[in-house]
Amino acid sequence: MWEALSMPFVYLSPSSQEFNPYVGGGNEELYMNLIADQLERWFRACGISFVRNTTDMTAAQSIEASNAGQFSLHLALHSNAAPEALSGVLQGTDVYYSPSSAHSRRAAELIVARLRTIYPQPEKVRALPTTSIGEVAKVAAPAVLVELAYHDNPEDAQWIRDNVPEIAKALAEAVAQYFSLPFLSLQSPQVGYVDLNWGSLNVRAAPDTSSEVVVSLQDGARLTVWNRYQNWFVVEWNGMSGFALQQFITLENE
């Protein structure tokens, strides 16, 4: 039985700091949003609902938007820069969490474990508590802020540029594990329709008939099918994702 921590609903907050240049080209906003683009695909594949900030939002606005919703994880994506005296010298990944939240710490530790498998110096990937970073300390949901690597270091900046898909996959694996969901491969989406003789179809937070109901859909409702897991479809309807029993959905092209 899959036991979800809570409704899998993420506020995804990639950096909007285009004024932070990368050694060798690009900037923080560009690469964090490229990673977020890939994360969206993984989240849909795994049945994780999300809302994403926009590039014209400040960190304060992202915090406000996150706190206005019922999110179960706030995930902020950034890259780092060393103090001027150490510019270009420091390397590594820091994942910040709130020391007052066991869920925040667990999410950070899961992310660290996954990133250590792809960062070339795994001993430099670490989880750190913070009470001063706004996108952790001022967020109502369990929150983590990932400083993926140092964009003023040539090797770190190149690592980010070369590994956008791998970084997104590692983050997605950690988030799926955080919500106790199966990590599923990317598939091409299909159109499906609810096909019932009576009642309504429950879309659930996890592939289990006792899991929380995300939404109930009437016969004929059109939805997007992103994946399959055992006898469940991973579906999306009106921006919300979850799991629905395959037997009550007809695919448009099958």
Residue pLDDT, tens place only, 68-116: 999 999 999 999 999 999 999 999 999 999 999 999 999 999 999 999 9
Report whether pLDDT(1) > 50. no
78 and 146 share a domain?
Answer: yes
Region label for 88, one of left (φ > 0), alpha (ψ between -120 and 50) or beta (otherwise): left
* 134 found inside a domain: yes
Q: Which CATH number fits the domain that encloses residue 241?
A: 2.30.30.40
Residue 223 contacts residue 249 (beta carbons within 8 Å): yes
pLDDT of the residue at 6 = 64
CA distances from 158 to 17, 26, 43, 51 (A): 18, 10, 25, 29
Number of domains present in the structure of the chain: 2
According to DSSP, the residues that pair with 222 across neighbouring strands are 193
DSSP letter (8 states) at residue 131: S
Mean pLDDT confidence for 213-217: 94
Q: Tell me the percentage of the chain whose pLDDT exceeds 70.
A: 97
Place of tokens 């594990």: 177
Place of tokens 């037997």: 247
Region label for 159, one of left (φ > 0), alpha (ψ between -120 and 50) or beta (otherwise): alpha
pTM more than 0.75:
yes
State how far the Cα of 76 lies from the Cα of 243, in Å rounded to an integer. Answer: 26
pLDDT of the residue at 226 = 98
pLDDT of the residue at 202 = 96
Q: What is the DSSP pairing of strand 93-97 with strand 143-150?
A: antiparallel
130 and 152 share a domain?
Answer: yes
Q: What residue numbers bound the domain in which 162 lies?
A: 9-178
* 240 found inside a domain: yes
If DSSP states are collapsed to H, E and C, what string results for 30-41?
A: HHHHHHHHHHHH
Mean pLDDT confidence for 233-239: 96
Which tokens belong to 79? Answer: 């890259």
58 and 121 share a domain?
Answer: yes
71 and 149 share a domain?
Answer: yes
Domain boundary among 178, 213, 241: 178
pLDDT of the residue at 238 = 93
pLDDT of the residue at 3 = 37
State how far the Cα of 217 lies from the Cα of 210, in Å rounded to an integer. Answer: 17
Q: Tell me the percentage of the chain whose pLDDT exceeds 90.
A: 95
pLDDT of the residue at 2 = 35
According to DSSP, the residues that pair with 227 across neighbouring strands are 234
Return mean pLDDT, the chain.
95
Mean pLDDT confidence for 21-32: 97
State how far the Cα of 39 lies from the Cα of 189, in Å rounded to an integer. Answer: 15
Report whether pLDDT(140) > 60. yes
* 4 found inside a domain: no
> At 253, is the pLDDT very low, low, confident or very high (cuts 50, 70, 90)?
confident
151 and 33 share a domain?
Answer: yes
Report whether pLDDT(39) > 70. yes
> At 155, is the pLDDT very low, low, confident or very high (cuts 50, 70, 90)?
very high
* 184 found inside a domain: no
25 and 99 share a domain?
Answer: yes
* 145 found inside a domain: yes
Mean pLDDT confidence for 47-67: 97
Report the run of H or E that residue 12 belongs to, with start and end: strand 9-14
Q: Which CATH number fits the domain that encloses residue 50?
A: 3.40.630.40
Place of tokens 């179809």: 201
> At 7, is the pLDDT very low, low, confident or very high (cuts 50, 70, 90)?
confident
* 1 found inside a domain: no
> At 194, is the pLDDT very low, low, confident or very high (cuts 50, 70, 90)?
very high
160 and 195 share a domain?
Answer: no
